[in-house]
Amino acid sequence: MSKQFQFKLVLLGESAVGKSSLVLRFVKDQFDDYRESTIGAAFLTQTVTLEDQTTVKFEIWDTAGQERYKSLAPMYYRNANCAVVVYDITQSTSLEKARTWIRELQRQADPSIVIALCGNKSDLSARRQVSEEEAKKYAEEEGLMWAETSAKSGEGVTEIFTAIAKKLPLTAAPSSRAGAAGRPGAAKSGVDLNKQAAGAGPNEPCNC
């Protein structure tokens, strides 16, 4: 019998790096040249099936990258099982921003969160400002997954989500995992778990 898992995934990263585009590619296999900057947080779902017929359902929260909304991001990553931190390979500042996000996640998010660093717009490698080596080295130091993607061509997109899916069930017992990801409409169970988690972390810094 095939197993089913459900996880909450959040996308973080500077504005215009292509978070919404990645989600659109992953969920609908589409691409828009003119996307409006996200002002809010959108919730989408997509399922991936692994070789052993295990299915993993992602509940994806695509958040706003604009600086102005930075204070709201914790609300969306606080009970996430995994985070995809995106930078734009043609903008070295966007990697700096990604590092800040990762530091914040390591400090404030659930300690078991799986973090993937994703260098987007690989189709524009002619204008590359961030080398593969640099990003990869950083990812290894921090113990993160890493890949380059192109939401435009589709290259690497499914792969990175599948890789995350494979990594996830291994890091925790499936039953608790499935429960921790709150369905919309059944978020209350998720809420309680979150409260427990927040209260149980003695090493956690005060996040006020």
Ligand X SMILES: Nc1nc2c(ncn2[C@@H]2O[C@H](COP(=O)(O)OP(=O)(O)OP(=O)(O)O)[C@@H](O)[C@H]2O)c(=O)[nH]1
| Interface residue with ligand X, options 38, 81, 91, 94 (CB under 6 A) | 38
The residue range among 33-41, 127-135, 137-145, 172-180 that interacts with ligand X, by the rule CB under 6 A, is 33-41
Instruction: Based on the shown chain and the rule CB under 6 A, indicate whether residue 178 belongs to the binding site for ligand X.
Output: no
Burial of 31 from C-beta contacts in 10 A (0-12 / 13-18 / 19+): middle
CB of 152 to Mg ion, least distance (A): 15
Q: Which residues bind Mg ion (CB under 5 A)?
A: 19-20, 38
Distance between CA atoms of residues 56 and 53, nearest Å: 10
191 touches other proteins by CB under 8 A: yes
Q: Assess contact for 144 and 117: CB atoms under 8 A.
A: yes
User: Taking CB under 6 A as the rule, does residue 91 contact ligand X?
Assistant: no
**Cβ-based neighbours of 143, under 8 Å, separated by 6 or more:** none
- Is 138 among the residues that bind other proteins (CB under 8 A)? no
Nearest distance from residue 127's CB to ligand X, in Å?
9
What is the 8-class DSSP label of residue 90?
T
The yes or no reply on residue 37 touching ligand X (CB under 6 A) is: yes
Total residues at interface with other proteins (CB under 8 A): 28
Angle formed by the axes of helices 92-108 and 132-142, to 10°? 10
Edge-to-edge strand list for the sheet holding 82-88 = 55-63, 4-13, 82-88, 114-120, 145-148
Which positions lie near other proteins, rule CB under 8 A? 27-28, 39-44, 61, 64, 68-69, 71-72, 75-79, 182, 184-188, 190-191, 194
